[in-house]
Amino acid sequence: MVTGSILITGGAGFIGSNFVRYWAERHPDQRIIVLDALTYAGNLANLSEFDGDARFRFYPGRIEDPTVVSGIFRCEKVTHVVNFAAESHNDRSMLDPTGLIGSNVTGVSVLLEAASRYGVERFVHVSTDEVYGQIHSGLFREDDPLLPRTPYSAGKAGGEMQVRAHVIAFGTPAMVTRGSNTFGPYQYPEKILPFFITRALDGKALPLYGDGRQVRDWLFVEDHCAGIAVVLEKGQKGEAYNIGGGNEFTNADLTRRVLGLLGKPESLIRHIPDPRGAAHDARYALDTAKAAALGWSPGADFDDALEATVRWYVDHPSWWRPIVESEPYQAYIRRYYGPTLGADL
C-alpha cells in the first residue's frame, strides 16, 4: 500500500495522464503531484478532470532542471516517483538525435539524485522494449543485452543506465519497466495508431514505411498503467520488468484493422520509402513472466481495446483537431513526410 505523495513526471503526456487517472481512482486519499514541461506532446487538456481537485498539484518544468525538481521534493514530501517524462518518438529522434538527451538521460539522473537525497521510498522509471533492439524470433527477457538501434531507444537505454548506477552507487530504491507499443485515448497523433486514425477520418493517405511487415506488440494503455503500478508497489529494487500486451501484428495488418473499424478504404494506404532506413526495428516481442510473478497480466482484449480506442478518436475531434491543425504539428508532418508523401501530404 502506497501512502504519502506520488510525483508523476510527464503526467500531462499520453501514458502519464492515463496513469494519473488510473492511480487517482485507486488511491483516492493520496496527493498526486505532476511535473510536466508541456512540450509539444504534453497537454493540460489531458488532465482537465483534475481542475480544482485539492489532492492534485501541477508544476510546469523540466526534469533536467535541478532547481525545479528539488523544489518539488522539498515542498511536497514526495514518497513515490513514476518517471514518464521523455521525448518519446523515434521519428523525431531521427530528425534531432541530440535533442532528447536532456530529458531521456540527464533528467533521469537529476530525478534519481533528488529522490535519493530526499529519501523517496520507491521510484519507477518508465522505459521501453526498444532498448533491446530488434528480435526476429522469440521473446526478449529482462536479462538480455540492451542493443538500441535508434537515437530515441539509445537515449532510453542511457536513462536505464542512470537508474542502474544510482541503485548501485547510492542505494536508490528504483526499478525500471519496459513497455511495448502502447495505444489508447490521449495519444499524440504522431504515433502510428492515432496518426492513421485521425488521417483516415479526414480521408488522407496513410504512409506505411517500407513493406509494412515490421511487427509490434500492442499493449492497451490501461494494462500498461496496471503493470507500472504493480512494479511500483511490489517490484524489487534494481530490477527491470517487461510489460507487453502479447498482441503481435504487422503494421500493414494493424492499418487494415483500423481502416476496417472506420469503414474507410484500403486505397488510403501508401507504401513510402522507409524514413527510418536501417534503424527501423523489424520486430519487438516480450517475455512478461517476471511481471506476471508480481501478479500482473494484461487484461484487455485486443480487438475490444482497439475498437474502444478508434471510437475515442471518432468521438473526440475537439481533442485532436486543434493539435493536427496547429502550425508546429503541420511543420513536423511537412518536414518528415513531405519528401515521400508529396501531393498526398
The residues that are catalytic are: 129-130, 152
> Alpha carbon of 14 to those of 19, 228, 265, 292: distances in Å?
9, 14, 28, 24
User: Which CB sits closer to ligand TYD, 109 or 153?
Assistant: 153
| Contact (Cβ atoms closer than 8 angstroms) between residue 112 and residue 172 | yes
Cell numbers standing for residue 184: 489508447
242 binds ligand TYD (CB under 6 A): no
Closest approach of Cβ 214 to ligand TYD, in Å? 4
198 binds ligand TYD (CB under 6 A): no
User: Which CB sits closer to ligand TYD, 236 or 326?
Assistant: 326
> Cα–Cα distance between 204 and 196 in angstroms, integer?
9
In eight-state DSSP terms, residue 106 is I
Closest approach of Cβ 81 to ligand TYD, in Å? 24
Binder of ligand TYD out of 18, 43, 181, 309 (CB under 6 A)? 181
Q: Is 158 helix (H, G, I), strand (E, B) or coil?
A: helix
Strand partners, 127: 178
| Contact (Cβ atoms closer than 8 angstroms) between residue 224 and residue 199 | no
Closest approach of Cβ 17 to ligand TYD, in Å? 18
Q: Which range, of 39-47, 111-119, 209-217, 227-235, touches ligand TYD by CB under 6 A?
A: 209-217
Strand partners, 272: 209
- Tell me how far apart the terminal alpha carbons of the chain are, to the nearest angstrom: 50
Size of the site for ligand TYD (CB under 6 A): 12
Binder of ligand TYD out of 22, 123, 188, 195 (CB under 6 A)? 195
Closest approach of Cβ 41 to ligand TYD, in Å? 12
Closest approach of Cβ 97 to ligand TYD, in Å? 14
> Cα–Cα distance between 170 and 282 in angstroms, integer?
37
333 binds ligand TYD (CB under 6 A): no
Q: Which range, of 14-22, 154-162, 170-178, 207-215, touches ligand TYD by CB under 6 A?
A: 207-215
156 binds ligand TYD (CB under 6 A): no
| Contact (Cβ atoms closer than 8 angstroms) between residue 270 and residue 339 | no
Segment 86 to 145, residues that bind ligand TYD, using CB under 6 A: 90-91
Binder of ligand TYD out of 207, 227, 235, 298 (CB under 6 A)? 207
Cell numbers standing for residue 11: 503526467
> Alpha carbon of 124 to those of 152, 174, 252: distances in Å?
19, 6, 34
Binding residues (CB under 6 A) for ligand TYD: these are 90-91, 181, 191-192, 195, 207-209, 214, 216, 251
